[in-house]
Amino acid sequence: DTEVTQTPKHLVMGMTNKKSLKCEQHMGHRAMYWYKQKAKKPPELMFVYSYEKLSINESVPSRFSPECPNSSLLNLHLHALQPEDSALYLCASSQDPGQGLPLHFGNGTRLTVT
């Protein structure tokens, strides 16, 4: 069982829809991450939150909007997505943003944009 919980597991949305991905951890971790993984590719970093503040944005298009309401929750708001945004979206957390600490991943949300 993963200690990082992501909902929903699957999501199908049209290009005009607005939806949100949710991530929750109760390990007391103070850094949380969003990664995007296309089929047969490694995960690519999108955003990092450190102590509930956005610390890294890897030049992600504005149709993806992250939010960290508190230290346990991380959301990714989606609007006006394109079919090429279809992918597995992975949430992860680490004890803090320090180098060398392992990331703990959720099982992801598989997003399909039609």
Residues making contact with another protein (CB under 8 A): 2, 4, 6, 31, 33, 40-43, 45, 48, 50, 55-56, 90, 92, 94, 97-108, 110
Tokens 């990092």 -> residue: 48
What minimum distance in Å lies between the beta carbon of 16 and another protein?
28
Our CB check for another protein shows the closer of 18 and 34 to be: 34
Our CB check for another protein shows the closer of 43 and 66 to be: 43
- Strand 44-50 relative to strand 31-37, pairing: antiparallel
Our CB check for another protein shows the closer of 58 and 82 to be: 58
User: Rounded CA gap, 70 and 57, in Å?
Assistant: 18
User: Rounded CA gap, 56 and 107, in Å?
Assistant: 22
Vertex 75: Cα angle to 71 and 79 (nearest 5): 155
What minimum distance in Å lies between the beta carbon of 14 and another protein?
23
